[in-house]
Chains A and B, each alone.
Chain A
Amino acid sequence: MSMAILYHGEPNGPSLSVLAALAESGLEIECRAISLRAGERHGLPEVSDSTALDFAVEGEGPVLVIDGEAMSEAVFIAQYLDEAAGGCGLQPADPYARWQMLMWCRQATERLSPAAAYIGLHASAAGEAALDTIRSDDLRARWQDWLDGRFDEAKLADSRAKVAQFCQRIEDQLADGREWLMGSFSIADLETFAWIRSMRTLEAGAFSGKEALNAWLARVESRPSVQAALARSTTGEPERAFAPGPEINRWG
């Protein structure tokens, strides 16, 4: 493979899912920890094509740089890792099962991740980035709101409701006794786990009494790939590390 480097934040949210997917793939790619809350993602060396870094819908996620091209969006990086490894079992082979997995991931990235990121930012001390390095106007506006402590109560309430709904959705999905969300283990487990893990403390009520959900969380967490990803934390509290994520849907 060409020269590849994975720049990642603390193993939480998209950085967690991609680090775990990398471990699942068995590929040898150099990992470099950066501080997302210090805006280091916007000053990476050796990036000649930064479009996908600057305009990622995901916001402050990990960046895989290959031959100078910055690759972003955790689900798609995970798919890339699976495919570059010749198929490491992170995606079902059957077209309909794959459609189901993509639909699940899309729900997670459109509904769960903006909500979890917003709740997480609200609970975090403001970051320290130099905003003039951020090329996307709307991402910069989300940073500015964070730095200024400007949070919308209606969006917070909606985010809490969305996290609770997603917890219920997982509980329902697992109701038939399946071990993993799509039947067999997949990117859907990693992406969902990575975003919801931090919510166990921030939105504890959404998890109470949900036995299938809590058992699934423990199963994903005990996978060696996830343990390896979590071990990359430099703070010891990755579930408290946040930076601006995807925007809340503009259409309400």
Chain B
Amino acid sequence: MADITLYHWEPNANSGKPMLALEEKGVAYDSHYINMLEFDQHQPEYLAVNPQGTIPAMTHSKLVLTESTAIMEYVDEAFDGPALMPADPRDRWRVRWWMKFMDQWLGPSFSMIGWCTFVGPSLAHKSEEEREAMLARIPLPERRVAWRKAMFAEFSEAELAESRRRIGKGVELLEEELGKRQFVASNAYSLADINIFNSTYMLPVGNADICSPDLTPNIWRWLREVYQRPAVQRTWAKGSGRFTDRFTAVMEDFAA
């Protein structure tokens, strides 16, 4: 019987981070699926949990936690199970550095491309009126601006080019980093791996031009290792459609 409820979308990017962290810790939780493409996150029922209307969110007894990376840190500290932060202070610093680099620099670039190529088109069948009504329910003004751009394909070519540049540079830096240690940030699997895997597990499918066994051997070695973790496999088995399909496609490649 869990007194933990996780409100999440698919095992992908931000929603996947606490899903995987809880799975790695062996912590049972009640799953509350939020269909992001139907804007469940802006419905009154969810806004009563998180008034900001962002996902994921987690409740632990009476506590409400938001922001995926900060939720993961809480999960690691509050529950028993294998440590997901290294003990050495410098390794801990490096875990935090890479998570911020992903959350605030590289991740938003992945998102912009993802929203442009997947999220926006997924909403295109809705009428303009319907989309405007969905936008009007978004509590945070900056999220409203971002969603508008995705819905009406308003990202400029310059913005998209800058995002593509950052993805190329970020992958290059990650390749270098994984040449230094077994995992991102330290020699032990940590929250940094969980964070970064959630935004890079699909690179072999979506960005084969910059990520391959030849171009990025260190990333490849690391992806293969993380993909095979039981907690990772259990987490992606909880997903649906496109996300689990992509995961399975890469997994078959690694197993071949």
- Using a CB–CB cutoff of 8 Å, the interface residues on chain A facing chain B are 49, 51-52, 55, 57, 66, 69, 71-73, 76-77, 79-80, 83-84, 95-96, 98-99, 102-103, 106, 110, 137-138, 249-252
Contacts and interface: CB of A to CB of B under 8 A. Distances in A.
B70 interface: yes
B70 A103 contact: yes
Given A51-B177, A95-B77, A72 B90 contact: no
Nearest to B65: A99
Nearest to A85: B89
A73 B97 contact: yes
Given A95-B78, A99-B65, A77 B173 contact: no
Contacts of B63: 96
A143 to B, nearest CB: 17
B73 A99 contact: yes
A205 B74 CA distance: 37
A251 B173 contact: no
Interface of B: 63, 65-67, 70-71, 73-74, 77-78, 89-90, 92-94, 96-97, 100-101, 104-105, 108, 112, 142, 145-146, 149, 159, 162, 165-166, 169, 173, 176-177, 180
B70 A80 contact: no
Contacts of B93: 71, 76-77, 79-80
A49 B179 CA distance: 12
Main secondary structure of the interface of A (DSSP, over half): helix
A76 B105 contact: no
A76 B100 contact: yes
Main secondary structure of the interface of B (DSSP, over half): helix
Given A55-B173, A106-B70, A96 B92 contact: no
Contacts of B142: 249, 251-252
B96 A79 contact: yes
Nearest to B60: A96
Contacts of A76: 93, 96-97, 100
Given A79-B92, A83-B92, A99 B176 contact: no
Contact of B165 (A69, A79, A80, A137): A137
A95 B58 CA distance: 14
Contacts of B78: 95-96
B97 A52 contact: yes
B88 to A, nearest CB: 9
B99 to A, nearest CB: 9
Contacts of A138: 162, 166
B77 A98 contact: yes
B104 A57 contact: yes
Contact of B89 (A55, A84, A96, A110): A84
Contacts of A137: 165, 169
A76 B78 CA distance: 20
Nearest to A250: B108
Given A73-B100, A250-B162, A251-B142, A80 B90 contact: yes
